[in-house]
Amino acid sequence: MEKQKTIKKEVTIEGAGLNTGINVKCKFKPASLNSGINFIRTDLPKRPAIKACISNVLELSKSVRHTSIGNDGVEIHTIEHLMASISALSIDNLEIEINGREMPAIDGSALLYFEVLRDAGIVEQDGPRKRFVVKEPIWVQDNNCKLMILPRVADDSLAISYTLDYDHPMIRTQHMSITPTEKFFEKEIAPARTFCLEREVEELKGLGLGKGASYDNTLVVGEDGVIKNKLRFDDEYTRHKISDLMGDLYLLGMPITGQIIGIKSGHVLNIKMLKKIQMHIERGEAGAIKAGSVGPDLSKGELDRETIQKILPHRDPFLFVDRIIEIEPDKRAVGIKNLTMNDDFFRGHFPGKPIMPGVLMVEAMAQVVGVILLAKGERHGKIAYFLSMNNVKFRKTVLPGDQLVMDVEIIKMKLRTGQARGRASVDGNLVCEADMMFYVSKDEG
């Protein structure tokens, strides 16, 4: 199990922001489990905090040339170089105190951020790391700029392929494919600096940007080459685009397993991709059973309704298990549902002669399976997906006043997939039976 990480000791960085030109001091501090990456504005009253996450990303119009986050009018700008380093070091939890609104530009690359955080020491924490595993292609496009993420079949890591193509004589078409390990990032990606074209300089100044830019922290590309500086790599522009991409995507709050393909993409498409990934996550969770984060006491072999609600996300009127009267995690459970005329489905399903819909009997048995699968300690916070049902048979009608008893057993359990057989009865008479298949996610993604 991959564990969360933070830094071992407090470290600092100082410097002027690339766009504001204002000198700021950043203090990086260890953070608690599951807290994420949080920026704290120490220059403002009450020291407001901004979490580095998708919901706090500022409008695309404010971050065409850089990535910014904000909340309630409090903002932090140009965070992508730091976020790329945090991503490469696999840091999950970090507190960043800053006495201004923009991260220091340093030399225009992610390298110093990487070195300072690495030298602070990276320590594991006692909690599992979340990961988004790409299961289907996801893509975004803006004219001839494209960004897509594909599943990886044989590898549990991130791979990036990027193609840069500028309409400029000194920036030829460049392509790079990498697996961004910590060591590779340090040597090959982190040193790559931000750049702009000489013909863009006046436009950027007109937008109020680049007040802290210089030939030392920005590669300015003229018609004859880089002005007053030298390239660190022949394809430094492409490497810097990959650095930005890594930093932006880490605003997801977890690493990604997949193959990323970028073609002329930048911050705008990166953020659009983030939002699309979030939609996929929410869509997946909407069709799944997500376990609670606190494990129940299974020693008594019984679970009341309050405890069941700590395991399952269901609530009235869609919680169909009132009590678990027997349970053996990963093996078997018996649940009951007491039916009354107050149950919503009776008022609309054959109201003249109300009966329980057959599909809800299957759903009730599936919820008992969810309890069996998700009650174990190592599955707290995981998600179970109901994949299929077979051999479904409805034997008798179920009426108001009946007590539905659901006896469910796990027939086969592999690493993350399981097959279950459920039998529901009333007064000892079989009313419904079904075979069900489930998948338990490796992580919350």
262 and 331 share one domain: no
User: Last residue of a domain, which of 239, 257, 286?
Assistant: 286
* Per-residue pLDDT tens digits for 143-168: 889 999 999 876 778 999 999 998 88
Is 267 noted as a catalytic residue in this protein?
A: yes
Residue from 168, 280, 314, 349 carrying the catalytic annotation: 349
pLDDT score of 374: 82
Domain end among 286, 320, 337: 286
Nearest to 254 by CA among 49, 40, 117, 52: 52
Domain boundaries, position 265: 3-286
What is residue 299's predicted lDDT score, i.e. its pLDDT? Answer: 63
How confident is the model over 377-429, as pLDDT tens digits?
Answer: 666 667 778 888 999 999 999 999 999 999 999 998 876 788 999 999 999 99
Contact (Cβ atoms closer than 8 angstroms) between residue 76 and residue 70: yes
SS3 helix, strand, coil % of the chain, rounded to 5? 25, 35, 40
Beta bridge partners of 389: 436
**Do 128 and 187 lie in a common domain?**
yes
The answer on 40 and 137 residing in a single domain is: yes
Identify the pLDDT of residue 444: 47
Q: Which amino acid is at 360?
A: L
In angstroms, how far apart are the furthest CA atoms of the chain?
A: 88
pLDDT of residue 228: 96
Instruction: State whether 203 and 295 are in the same domain.
Output: no
d(CA 182, CA 164) in angstroms, rounded, equals 23
We report the CATH number of the domain holding residue 257 as: 3.30.1700.10
Residues 10 and 106 in one domain: yes
pLDDT of residue 251: 97
In a domain, 316, yes or no: yes
pLDDT-derived band of residue 17, with 50, 70 and 90 as boundaries?
Answer: very high
Task: Give mean pLDDT, residues 290-312.
Answer: 72
445 located within any domain:
no
Catalytic residue among 267, 280, 314, 380: 267
Of the residues 246, 267, 286, the one at which a domain ends:
286
Q: Are residues 221 and 350 in the same domain?
A: no
Q: Is residue 118 part of a domain?
A: yes
Q: Are 126 and 237 contained in the same domain? A: yes
Q: Is the same domain home to 358 and 410?
A: yes
- Could you tell me if 258 and 386 lie in one domain? no
The domain tally of the chain equals 2
Nearest CA-CA partner of 249 in 281, 282, 273, 279: 273
Highest mean pLDDT among 235-249, 400-414, 430-444 belongs to 235-249
Asked if residue 50 lies in contact with residue 42, where contact means CB atoms within 8 angstroms, the answer is no
Separation of first and last alpha carbons in the chain = 15
pTM of the model as a whole: 0.71
Do both 322 and 255 map to the same domain? no
Q: Is 349 noted as a catalytic residue in this protein?
A: yes
Cα 235 versus chain centre, distance = 30
Same domain, 251 and 133: yes
Nearest CA to 291 out of 406, 385, 361, 364 is that of: 385
Residues 306, 266 share a domain: no
**Does residue 411 belong to any structural domain of this protein?**
yes
Residue 403 sits in a domain whose CATH number is: 3.10.129.10
